[in-house]
């Protein structure tokens, strides 16, 4: 993640950006306002739960294995 000044330097160095700090600051502010995360609180009565299961490839002792996770 870039700070705003680091982002300006990166844009200038890597992409030839000719703008300044203020335009980047305004863009970042507007972008953050439109991309907020939303969370829905879940409530489960005692004895009930919701879980996810999955699989992942891991390396254990030099061997690549498929493992299940909870």
At 2-59, the pLDDT tens digits run 788 898 999 999 999 999 999 999 988 888 777 667 778 888 888 887 777 888 888 8
Residue 27 within any structural domain of the chain: yes
Task: Please tell me the predicted confidence (pLDDT) of residue 48.
Answer: 83
Contact 8, 20 (CB under 8 A): yes
In the prediction, which pLDDT does 15 show?
93
- Select from 22, 26, 28 the least CA-distant residue to 1: 28
The reply to whether 50 falls in a domain is: no
Residue 63 lies in a domain: no
In this predicted structure, what is the pLDDT of residue 31?
80
- pLDDT for res 1: 61
The structure's pTM equals: 0.44
Domain tally, the chain: 1
């Amino acid at each position: 993640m870039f700070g705003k000044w680091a982002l300006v330097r990166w844009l200038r160095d890597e992409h030839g950006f000719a703008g300044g700090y203020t335009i980047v600051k305004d863009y970042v502010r507007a972008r953050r306002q439109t991309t907020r995360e939303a969370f829905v609180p879940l409530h489960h009565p005692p004895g009930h739960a919701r879980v996810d299961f999955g699989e992942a490839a891991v390396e254990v002792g030099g061997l690549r294995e498929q493992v299940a996770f909870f």
